[in-house]
Amino acid sequence: MRKIITLSLLLCAAMLSAQTTPGKHSIKILDVNTKYADFGLSFFGDDKVVFASPTEKVSIVRKVWRENDQPYLDLFMGDIDSTGQIINKRPIKGDVNKKLHEAMVTFTKDYKTVYFSANNYNSKNKSVKSSKGWDNIQLYKADVNPDNTWTNIVKLPFNSDEFQTGLPTLNEDETKMYFVSDRPGSIGKTDIYVVDIYPDGTYGEPKNMGPRINTEEREMFPHMGKDNMLYFSSNGHPGYGNLDVFVTKIYDNTVSIPLNLEEPINSEKDDFSYIMRTDRQGYFSSNRSEGKGDDDIYSFMVDEPIFIECLQTVKGVVKNRDTDELIPGALVTIYDSEGNVLQQTAADEINASYSFDIPCNATFKITSVQDGFVAVEEQIKTINDLDGPVIEQDLLMSPEFVIVGDEVLVNINRIYFDFDKSNIRKDAAEQLDRVVEVMNKYPEMKIMASSHTDSRGPKAYNMKLSERRAKSTVDYIISKGIDASRIKSQGFGESKLVNKCSDGVPCSKEEHQLNRRTEFKIDGTLKVRAK
């Protein structure tokens, strides 16, 4: 028994983990339909469509697998009126609409190039059969002229006389084409494949979309919508009978489990060629019994958007940066890229852990807040794939204050300066912002800013330099809204080095850098939690 199912028959057959929602549709049959097969819209601009319909050469008839006589298919253009009906039907002109089938097209965004399916012809417009006598469907590319005629038609290089290749659709950036084939290596009778389109116009090697999409039966009529949502029809996935419309989302390395769009889009008959015009309106084809003929084109409205969710887990523990002590009860919040709170939780009371499930392919901010500690903030980037690995992100919090000898210091990294400079560096500004945060939290708190230099240069000059550094530090904090009466400053020059690097002692640049610093201590008394 021959297992080859041709796309001629496919075209005639047309005459035939994650939270998801299939949408809620209402449908309407179009007046443009004939008693024969009409199907497979593609948009040409905002107000025109191209679709397959019976050839006007009615003397050419072919018997198909449904055991009914059908004319061969030509490609037609129509206008979309204000009600969504297709009017002014006229045949596509140019080097197209030949003797046998043409159907299913996809245009580039500039509408200057079209890919379409047609029976196999040679350069002399003679039909080419396979070694087994099949009229195989092939993929073609053509130029679309300003008058909408199609010229310069060429076959794509991954066609073959021996198998079917057709029903094309492009992704949004036109770097990939999805199509249907029964080529060797297919999982079922017909599978959906993808091929890369390179900037120079050449093509990669076609790849099977794999068993999550393809079954042992037929997968057909792919259409790539917005956000990498791939609509297709299948009689191999569980459904209502015959071809049903499904949707899957294409990620970088994975695809979602196909979602059946349910009734009324799907029926006991063949339902296919689903395509969205807007977020709410589109078209599909079906040979259901209430139609006008064989396959008919229907319009639809969708009240509830189709949605496929992809989530990735981020988890970790909250602990003291200096001691590794756990900080249970810390408030952990995750924000989207626009600063909106997505989720919030308290770190576990026993192990100080937290966990969030957040959308794939996005950037987030995660924060932790707890009394006695400086709030911490981290950036999280999720991948564009299902089943991505868990993101491990511990939140390391620093105590707001530390006790050094008899002094209580604001616990920040030391503020460093470039050699012989007093301006606030970017890394210093980040630390000073933490000082501002603590001072806003404790309105009664006053602090002393102590600035220092390294030992290089005259002592008198270094004293003046440290005073300038102290002043620039204070000015920055005041610029953030802190009252000037709450902060004092003092320069100590090179008198309080933190290492051996005094005059005459050889030291590296890094060792000298440790002495060019500003520190902050509590001026007076303050009831604080010091760690």
Q: Report yes or no: 309 and 326 within 8 Å, Cβ to Cβ.
A: no
CA–CA separation, 217 and 235 (whole Å): 6
Please give the structure tokens belonging to residue 381: 């980037």
Q: Report yes or no: 182 and 191 within 8 Å, Cβ to Cβ.
A: yes
User: Which are the contacts of 395, defined by CB distance < 8 A and separation ≥ 6?
Assistant: 316, 317, 318, 319, 330, 332, 354, 366, 368, 376, 378
- In percent, the amount of the chain with pLDDT more than 90 equals 61
Pairing relation of β-strands 395-399 and 311-320? parallel
Residue 23: predicted pLDDT: 79
Domains and CATH numbers, the chain: 7-308 (2.120.10.30), 311-399 (2.60.40.1120), 401-522 (3.30.1330.60)
* Single-letter residue type at 113: T
DSSP β-bridge partners for residue 75: 52
Residue 6: predicted pLDDT: 38
Burial 124-158 (b: 16+ CB within 10 A, else e): eeeeeebeeebbbbbbbbbebeeeeebeebebbeb
Residue 101: predicted pLDDT: 82
3-state secondary structure at position 412: coil
Give every residue of the chain whose pLDDT is below 50, as ranges.
1-18, 59-68, 528-531
Residue 426: predicted pLDDT: 85
Residue 62: predicted pLDDT: 46
CA–CA separation, 397 and 323 (whole Å): 10
CA–CA separation, 489 and 475 (whole Å): 10
3-state secondary structure at position 437: helix
Q: Model pTM?
A: 0.78
